[in-house]
Amino acid sequence: MDRSSLIEPAANVDPAEIARALVGAHAQILQAGEVSIARRAGLTRADVERALWVDRTLVKTFGPRGTVHLLATADLPMWTGAMSALPQSGPGHPEGVRFTPDEADEVIAGIGDVLADAELTIDELTEALRERVGPWAVEETMAAFQVLWPRWRQLTSNAADRGVLCFGPDRGRKVTYTNPHRWLSGFVPGDGATASRALLRAYLHAYGPATPANFARWLAIAPKRAVALFDEAADDLEPVELEGVPAWTLAGDTSAPETPVQGIRLLPYFDAFVVAGQPRELLYPGGAAARAAPTGQAGNFPVLLVDGVVGGIWHQRRSGRRLVITVESLLPLRTDQRRELDDEVALIGRIVGAEPTLVLGQVAVGPHA
């Protein structure tokens, strides 16, 4: 929690430094990613948005597990080098829909070219690729959500891993893409082996002690590949025991707090602390896993942390400037904890620019609501 700036907010740091410390902030729901970063440094969503779209010290792109994250722009060489070095998954589309390796290379190069000086919606990018690469690249043959998408979209995250695509600012309700070279001029993906080792070090600094299985789950890679990465970085690592279970940390990084963490915290959807934190059975004690992660996937609900572990869930409903925050605690809250919860609700209100009201009771909505 200390390295995640959840004991005390980090002082005099910018949003990119927080994103680096978290090893990426999940942003499939952009507001959740913005709140994750803002709450750790006494900032607001507006500060994070400025870093993303004006200062460009943050970049919205694909990160761990192929999901949308906010990353420090300066770390793009590491991320793209590491992600592009990962073994590719098997064919996900039937023959005639999936691209051959040569075709994929041609389409990804085309994506980089047409986005070099532009922010394009999906439809605009499709038409630009039709002109640049050819109609075969944009045929509507890719099955997705009961409709057919243009073929090139199967390569969206691949193009991001190669360093030629990231998200631009939304245009109304439409997503746009652009080329991250506009954010970080002259960057190239790092060497795969070096970048992968750097990513492992960053992960262990933030979330260790950990096992190869923990790392594999966080990054969504094969367990054997995670074991190999730990073996390759053996000189950097030190074996330890966590609750009697063998694990690894960075060499020399074995100090621990003398007293348990205490306090109340409200974390948004897919906050990095609950997604990357482990062992999962300690982070989600008792009935917390069944309530806060019913499918086994952490982050589907915003969570209430009680003394460092998941102790409930919460939900927000906004109408204009008014924000109603419903908190469902799985444990009775003491008077001091209740006061801290009031402070947390006020903090969320400041971050999102709303006037919050706290309601204690059952959260009636499902995941992702």
Residue pLDDT, tens place only, 138-156: 999 888 888 889 999 999 9
- From 128, 70, 131, select the one nearest 272 (Cα to Cα): 70
Measured CA to CA, the distance from residue 258 to residue 281 in angstroms comes to 22
Residue pLDDT, tens place only, 67-78: 999 999 999 999
Q: Is the pLDDT of residue 91 over 70?
A: no
Triad 25, 295, 281: Cα angle to 5°: 75
In this prediction, residue 259 carries a pLDDT of 85
**Mean of pLDDT values over 50-72:** 96
Q: Could you write out the DSSP letters of every residue in 256-308?
A: --SS----EEEE-TT-HHHHH-S-HHHHSTTTHHHHH-TTS-TTSS-EEEETT
Q: In the chain, how long is the greatest CA-to-CA distance? A: 66
Q: At 336, give phi and psi (nearest 5°).
A: -65, -35
In this prediction, residue 192 carries a pLDDT of 95
Query: How confident is residue 88, by pLDDT bands cut at 50, 70 and 90?
Result: low
Q: Which range among 124-128, 352-356, 363-367 shows the weakest confidence by mean pLDDT?
A: 363-367
Q: Indicate the burial class of 175 (C-beta count within 10 angstroms; 0-12, 13-18, 19 or more).
A: middle
- Indicate the average pLDDT of the chain: 93
Q: Token digits for 99? A: 């691209």
In this prediction, residue 144 carries a pLDDT of 82
Of the two residues 157 and 257, the one the predictor is more confident about is 157
Residue pLDDT, tens place only, 268-307: 999 999 999 988 889 999 889 999 988 888 888 999 999 9
Distances (CA, A) of 362 to 176, 326, 340: 37, 8, 19
In this prediction, residue 367 carries a pLDDT of 79
In this prediction, residue 89 carries a pLDDT of 58
In this prediction, residue 116 carries a pLDDT of 95
Instruction: Tell me which range, 57-61, 95-99, 298-302, is most confidently predicted by mean pLDDT.
Output: 57-61
In this prediction, residue 90 carries a pLDDT of 52
